[in-house]
Homo-oligomer: A and B are copies of this chain.
Amino acid sequence: MAADASDPARPPLPGSPRAAGTRRGGRRHAGRPTMKDVAAQAGVGLKTVSRVVNGEAGVSQDTEQRVQEAITSLGFRRNDSARVLRKGTTASIGLVLEDLADPFYSPLSRAVEEVARAHGALLINGSSAEDPEREQELALALCARRVDGLVIIPASDDHRYLAPEIAAGVATVFVDRPPGRIAADLVLSDNFEGAREGVAHLIAHGHRRIGYIGDRPGIHTAEERLRGYRAAMAEAGLPVAEAWVAPGGTDADRVRADAVRMLAGGRGGEPVTALFSGNNRVTVTLVRVLAAPERRERPVALVGFDDFELADLLSPPVTVVAQDPADLGRSAAELLFRRLDGADDEPRTVSRPTTLIARGSGEIPPSG
């Protein structure tokens, strides 16, 4: 990813708003002031300026004052690119999200930022838009900028492209989904156990025919949650009709169609009396389906994976299996800085618990 010179005449950044005309006048065009400029203005050596800028000891009060004045008067700001080039470390980490616009990731991103900040590092983030190619492009662009480490929420299932980077010392932690075909640190919610618990909750409230609507297989979290669903059913000795399982993605129309089918008891099966939703997008769609006036007479129980804002204000309030995105982000960032601080043991996997929050929709008894 680069702004490549396919554009031959891209003007360099305007030095100052109206310097455009001055540029060919032979005058030394006003780039930004450098340490050298500051040194000249203050009448000191270059290294002294460097000392002042970096707060190093060994500069007399008097000299420091002169340098500070020169800095302010010239509007100097250290060029970190040069610094990075020399020092080899950037004090920045990268975060590759699946989707910057998904509220689920906001607290995660924020938590990573807080940890980074506590370690004096800047966070650079971008989103893959769930596109594997874009994930790779972004991750490698961050590596080219020499971030010290990388937190990745995978959109792809093959991360071998990162092997040279990891070998070169870029600490890398995956969150929410495991890395593909390489070994690396990993932070996950306990998707299996969370789903199992959610479905067991419905069973405990008397349901025997429970539908599962979730994301596509191939997505690790979706597989785990489906596995949890099946485990809960099996533990209770309940059969699972295949018509009750719809792991077909989060597209609203698809979800709606599957839900309607299950509630009608399609393909010869009896209608389900409860639904378990594989993630928050599915849940919201299901809430809409179930809120339809004609459904009101025969209420259907619902438990959703993932919490979401206002779930408690809906009627009925929605029972969920909540992940803690901030906690995931914090754990990942801490794992990362542990590596950056020198830990070089085997990659580890951290599993974070989920929490069942009973609010009403999951406690509706079967109405069949």
A13 engages B340 (CB within 8 Å)? yes
The winner among A3, A107, A120, A308 for most chain B CB atoms within 10 A is: A3
A109 pairs with B120, CB closer than 8 A: no
**Size range of the interface on A?**
35 or more
Q: How many copies of this protein are present in the complex?
A: 2
A125-153 residues at the B interface, CB under 8 angstroms: 125-127, 140-146, 148
Bound together, the chains give a CA A18 to CA B164 distance in angstroms of 10
Residues of B within 8 A of A144 (CB): 77-80
Let me know if A102 is at the binding interface, CB within 8 A. yes
* Distance A28 CA – B99 CA, assembled complex (angstroms): 31
Question: Chain B: which residue is nearest A88 at the CB level?
Answer: B29
Docked-complex contact A146 and B79, CB < 8 angstroms: yes
Interface residues of A in 55-108 (CB under 8 A from B): 55-56, 75-82, 84-85, 87-92, 99-103, 105-107
A332 at the interface (CB under 8 A from B): no
Per-residue CB contact flags for chain A residues 1-40 toward chain B (1 = under 8 Å, else 0) read: 1111100000111111110100101111111100000000
| Residue of A54, A121, A164 with highest tally of chain B CB at under 10 A | A164
From B28, B109, B287, contact of A101 by CB (8 A): B109
- C-alpha gap A301/B101 in the complex (Å): 31
Of B1, B81, B99, the residue contacting A120 (CB under 8 A) is: B1
A127 touches B141 (CB 8 A): no
State whether the Cβ of A342 lies closer than 8 Å to any Cβ in chain B.
yes
Q: Is A123's CB within 8 Å of the partner chain B?
A: yes
A residues adjacent to B (C-beta < 8 A): 1-5, 11-18, 20, 23, 25-32, 54-56, 75-82, 84-85, 87-92, 99-103, 105-107, 109-110, 113, 117, 119-127, 140-146, 148, 163-165, 167-171, 284, 287-288, 291, 308-310, 313-315, 326, 339-342, 344
What are 26 A-B residue pairs whose CB atoms fall within 8 Å in the complex? A1-B120, A2-B91, A3-B91, A4-B120, A5-B88, A13-B340, A18-B167, A27-B341, A29-B146, A29-B169, A32-B169, A75-B163, A75-B165, A80-B146, A81-B146, A82-B85, A92-B145, A99-B110, A102-B106, A122-B142, A122-B145, A124-B125, A125-B125, A287-B313, A288-B313, A308-B310
